[in-house]
């Protein structure tokens, strides 16, 4: 064991997560912050950005499968996909499992993350060599602002909403994303913990509700994200993602995603009402 | 802020949880371990046993509501209830919300926990003054072994399965609990994190399956338990808890529990199959 017991210093969490790392393999401070790779006995290889664990080999599939497959299986024929962020390649890997996909564009602001993933996280970065994958090293918010009717799905796979990621949650960005999507398009963003960031989730929901026919929240349990009970906020132009028809076969290899997991991941209506609509930070007292 | 930044030293978790405590209010080493009470800016008052956070005022309702209401609403007429552990009173408080309940017996091995809860956690300990509440300071496993056809519901609200709590997960205990339950009886135990303790959950499921007509798992997101995605293992003699008829009214005050939350808390069948039955620690690789 190394002498680096605590890696997690997430300013958005009232709990600090600490890990006894086996070995720190790589660390480099670039223009967008520090990128680090470590090995952990239980979690396997970890990607750590600015001291916050972004993924581990052991549980990354929960996040990446749910970010990609819920919208892609809700859409009847997802062909052109935009991933903003996601430089580790995990979301791209899942998107490319859909044989309807013609082109998956990954707009990552920090090319260093892609290089590190290709070197240290081969099980995540496998999709970069797929001919349908197209990488642009660019600011995702600026990219989206230039596009019209270009994508069937837009996925925001970003860090905590601070610094470079902050522009991905502005009112303008949601309007631009909606315009960049074709008819029937679907937007999903990771939106932090339902325990710790309820006000943030509510804000995103209300913005999505102004641009999309359906705005909703689904969750996934991720052990290494502080607060767990992780949320994805989804905006859909025409299909209710809760009542998706699942017209295409879903017999692709997945560790967590399945039709019943998809349905079960949406918050029960009573929780939507109490947590998201009641306009209060905490539910009513007993 | 005090100089006690980290309280969590759970030996069952590959992540250490750390809290910046506002104040340590009480700490005493008794015959069953150390009992401590602290205040935290975000979580409110916390109960900490042997350095492991057992509950916080902010999120205790997730655990206590789901431990109590899922079995009590599955049972058509729960009258006599046994709670093993639960000295903080939270489970008792929820059980007593059901007006079918005639007697709620709490068998707690450490009377010190009850005293501390009554002094520092009044919102949890409110049920101790109810005339339907009966407290026995005793080893719950030994108590259960002496009872026959005595209870409609048995709830195991214990610490991590080590030391005093270990006897609550033996084959003999499950057989004794089944015999102590009347026809139609229901058993529930907290069984740790589905992320970190999958083998333990599987072991409990297989033991329950040998004694009850239905053995199943439901989960609840608890921010302060390492691994979150917390499991309750349920054994039921005659009613399938997934398909409970909900014959009684469920319009009681609850912050998290609701009929749709009850149904949604059970693991989707595909996850039961893949996580609990496939006989492997990790799901298959991509």
Domain ranges of chain B: 60-277
Lowest mean pLDDT among A40-44, A90-94, A273-277, B264-268: A273-277
**Is the Cβ pair B268, A260 closer than 8 Å?**
yes
Smallest Cα distance from A183 to chain B, Å:
32
Q: Which among A43, A61, A264 has CB closest to B264?
A: A264
Question: Is A12 within 8 Å of chain B by CB?
Answer: no
Nearest CA-CA distance, residue B125 and chain A, Å: 13
The most confident of A16-20, A156-160, B123-127, B276-280, by mean pLDDT: B123-127
Q: Do B19 and A15 touch (CB under 8 A)?
A: yes
Higher pLDDT, B45 or A13: B45
Residue A279 has pLDDT above 80, yes or no: no
Reported ipTM exceeds the 0.85 cut: yes
Q: Is the pLDDT of residue B247 over 90?
A: no
Q: What share of chain A is helix, strand, coil (3-state, %, to 5)?
A: 30, 30, 40
Catalytic residue among A10, A50, A152, A157: A157
The predicted structure's pLDDT at residue A193: 94
Could you tell me if A224 lies within 8 Å of chain B, comparing CB atoms? yes
Class of residue B162 by CB neighbours under 10 A (exposed 0-12, middle 13-18, buried 19+): exposed
CATH 3.90.1150.10 given to domain A60-277: no
CB contact under 8 A, B15 and A224: yes
pLDDT value at A270 more than 60: yes
pLDDT band at residue B8 under the 50/70/90 scheme: low
**For position B98, what pLDDT does the model report?**
95
Task: Identify the pLDDT of residue B1.
Answer: 37
Residues 6+ apart with CB under 8 A from B175: B211
A147 CB-contact burial (10 Å; exposed 0-12 / middle 13-18 / buried 19+): middle
Chain A contact for B103 (CB, 8 A cutoff): no
Cβ-defined contact of A14 to B42 (cutoff 8 Å)? yes
Give the C-alpha separation, A220 to A209, whole Å: 22
pLDDT band at A280 (very low <50, low <70, confident <90, very high): very low
> Distance between CA atoms of B83 and B140, rounded to whole angstroms?
9
pTM for this predicted structure? 0.93
Chosen from A228, A263, A282 to mutate, greatest number of chain B CBs within 10 A: A228
Query: Would an 8 Å CB–CB cutoff place B172 in contact with chain A?
Result: no
Residue among A41, A58, A221 minimizing CB distance to B221: A221
- The beta strands (E) that lie in A139-209 are given as 151-157, 181-193
Our CA-based measurement puts residue B235 at a distance from the nearest CA of chain A, in whole angstroms, of 22
The whole-chain average pLDDT of chain A stands at 91
Shortest Cα–Cα distance, B138 to chain A (Å): 30
């Amino acid at each position: 064991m190394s002498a680096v017991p605590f890696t997690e210093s997430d300013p958005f969490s009232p709990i600090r997560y600490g890990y006894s790392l086996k070995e720190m393999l790589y660390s480099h401070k670039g223009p967008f912050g520090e990128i680090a790779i470590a090995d952990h006995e239980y979690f396997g290889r970890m990607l750590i950005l600015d001291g916050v664990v972004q993924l581990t080999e052991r549980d990354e599939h929960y996040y990446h499968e749910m970010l990609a497959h819920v919208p892609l299986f809700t859409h009847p024929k997802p062909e052109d996909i935009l991933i903003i962020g996601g430089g580790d390649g995990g979301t791209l890997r899942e998107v490319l499992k859909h044989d309807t996909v013609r082109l998956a564009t990954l707009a990552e602001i920090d090319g260093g993350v892609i290089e590190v993933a290709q070197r240290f996280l081969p099980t995540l970065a496998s999709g970069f060599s797929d001919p349908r994958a197209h990488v642009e090293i660019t600011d995702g918010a600026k990219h989206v602002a230039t596009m019209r009717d270009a994508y069937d799905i837009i996925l925001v796979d970003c860090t905590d909403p601070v610094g470079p990621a902050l522009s991905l949650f502005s009112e303008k960005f949601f309007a631009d994303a909606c315009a960049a999507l074709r008819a029937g398009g679907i937007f999903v963003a990771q939106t932090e913990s339902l325990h710790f960031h309820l006000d943030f989730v509510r804000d995103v929901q209300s913005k999505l509700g102004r641009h999309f026919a359906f705005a909703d929240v689904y969750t996934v349990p991720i052990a290494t994200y502080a607060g767990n009970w992780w949320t994805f906020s989804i905006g859909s132009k025409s299909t209710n993602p809760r009542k998706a028809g699942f017209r295409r076969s879903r017999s692709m290899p997945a560790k967590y995603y399945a039709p019943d997991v998809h349905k079960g991941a949406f918050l029960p209506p009573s929780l939507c009402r109490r947590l998201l609509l009641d306009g209060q930070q905490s539910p009513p007292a007993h």
